Structure 1
Amino acid sequence: MNTFQKRTAIRIAAVSILLASLASPIAWYVARESAEESIVALAVEESGRLLHQFDAIDLSGPQATQHATLAANAISGGMFDIVEIYDAQGRKLAESVTPEGHAVESSLPHHGTPDYTTAFYNGHKPASGVWALRVFVPLRDSATDMSRPITGYFEGVRVMPTWQQDQIFNNSLSAALMVGLASLLCGGALYPVVVHLSADNERKAQEVLDSHISMMEALGRAIAKRDSDTGAHNYRVAWIAASIAEQMGLAGSDMQALIAGSFLHDVGKIGIPDAILLKPGKLDDDEMRVMRTHVAQGEEIVNGMGWLEGANAVVAAHHEKWNGSGYPRQLSGEDIPLAARIFAVADVFDALCSKRPYKEPMGFDAAMVILEKDTASHFDPSVMAVFRPMARATFDRLAGISENATRQLLEDRVRHHFEM
Structure 2
Amino acid sequence: MAYFERRAARRISLVSVVLALISAPMAWLVAAESAERDIVLLAMEESKRFLPATDHNALMGEAAASRARVAAEGLSGGLFDIAEIYDAQGRKLAESMTATGTHIEDQLPGHGKPGYTEASYESVKLNNGLWALRVFVPMKEAGRQRIAGYFEGVRVVPAWQRDNIESAAIRVAGMAALAALLCGLAIFPIVLKLSRENAKKAYEILDSHIAMMEALGRAIAKRDSDTGAHNYRVAWIAARIGEESGLSGAAMQALIAGSFLHDVGKIGIPDAILLKQGKLDEDEMSIMRTHVALGEEIVHGMGWLDGAHEVVAGHHEKWNGGGYPRGLVGEAIPLSARIFAVADVFDALSSKRPYKSPFPFEKVMEILQQETGSHFDPVVMQVFLRIAQEVNATLKDISEAEARALLTDKIKRHFLG
TM-score (norm 1): 0.69
Counterparts of 2:112 and 2:393 in 1: how far apart (Å)? 99
Following superposition, the deviation at residue 345 of structure 1 comes to 1.1
Listed as ranges, the matches of 1:360-371 within 5 Å are 362-365=356-359
Distance 1:86 1:24, change over 3 A: closer
DSSP-derived class of the 1:233 partner? helix
Greater shift, 173-182 or 374-383, is seen at 374-383
Counterpart residue identity of residue 181, structure 1: M
Q: Percent same amino acid among aligned pairs? A: 42
Q: Is contact 2:139–2:151 with CA below 8 Å preserved after alignment?
A: no
Pick from 224, 229, 234 the counterpart of residue 227 of structure 1. 224
Distance 1:184 1:198, change over 3 A: farther
Q: Is contact 2:116–2:138 with CA below 8 Å preserved after alignment?
A: yes
Pick from 400, 406, 410 the counterpart of residue 407 of structure 2. 410
Q: Is contact 1:224–1:233 with CA below 8 Å preserved after alignment?
A: no
- Greater Cα radius of gyration, structure 1 or 2: 1
Q: Is 1:39 the counterpart of 2:33 in the alignment?
A: no
Distance 1:119 1:199, change over 3 A: same
Q: Is contact 1:239–1:413 with CA below 8 Å preserved after alignment?
A: yes
Counterparts of 2:415 and 2:327 in 1: how far apart (Å)? 32
Q: Is contact 2:43–2:79 with CA below 8 Å preserved after alignment?
A: no
DSSP-derived class of the 2:224 partner? helix
Counterpart residue identity of residue 393, structure 1: A
1:177 alignment counterpart:
171
Following superposition, the deviation at residue 341 of structure 1 comes to 1.9
Note the residue ranges of structure 2 that are not aligned, 5 or more in a row.
none
Listed as ranges, the matches of 1:86-101 within 5 Å are 101=98
Following superposition, the deviation at residue 102 of structure 1 comes to 5.4
Note the residue ranges of structure 1 that are not aligned, 5 or more in a row.
none
Distance 1:324 1:161, change over 3 A: closer
Q: Is 1:143 the counterpart of 2:142 in the alignment?
A: yes
Q: Is contact 1:323–1:376 with CA below 8 Å preserved after alignment?
A: no
Listed as ranges, the matches of 1:186-265 within 5 Å are 186-190=180-184, 193=187, 196=192, 204-205=201-202, 207-228=204-225, 231-243=228-240, 245=241, 249=245, 251-252=247-248, 253-265=250-262
Counterparts of 2:246 and 2:127 in 1: how far apart (Å)? 68
Following superposition, the deviation at residue 266 of structure 1 comes to 1.4
Aligned residues: CA RMSD:
5.0
Distance 1:158 1:395, change over 3 A: closer
1:397 alignment counterpart:
397
Counterparts of 2:206 and 2:239 in 1: how far apart (Å)? 18
Q: Is 1:273 the counterpart of 2:261 in the alignment?
A: no
Q: Is contact 2:12–2:184 with CA below 8 Å preserved after alignment?
A: no
Q: Is contact 1:272–1:294 with CA below 8 Å preserved after alignment?
A: yes
The superposition leaves residues 301-337 of structure 1 with CA deviations (integer Å, 9 ceiling, x where unpaired) of 2233344333334323334457765543455777654
TM-score (norm 2): 0.70
Counterpart residue identity of residue 146, structure 1: Q
2:33 alignment counterpart:
29
Counterparts of 1:230 and 1:112 in 2: how far apart (Å)? 87
Q: Is contact 1:82–1:157 with CA below 8 Å preserved after alignment?
A: yes
Counterpart residue identity of residue 294, structure 2: Q
2:160 alignment counterpart:
166
Q: Is contact 1:31–1:172 with CA below 8 Å preserved after alignment?
A: no
Q: Is 1:316 the counterpart of 2:313 in the alignment?
A: yes
The superposition leaves residues 83-118 of structure 1 with CA deviations (integer Å, 9 ceiling, x where unpaired) of 7777777888888x6xx8356347536999976564
Counterparts of 2:261 and 2:160 in 1: how far apart (Å)? 77
Q: How many residue pairs were aligned?
A: 397
Distance 1:198 1:320, change over 3 A: same
Q: Is contact 2:139–2:150 with CA below 8 Å preserved after alignment?
A: yes
Q: Is contact 1:238–1:410 with CA below 8 Å preserved after alignment?
A: yes
The superposition leaves residues 119-158 of structure 1 with CA deviations (integer Å, 9 ceiling, x where unpaired) of 7475778769887766666656x423123x73xx475757
Distance 1:203 1:183, change over 3 A: farther
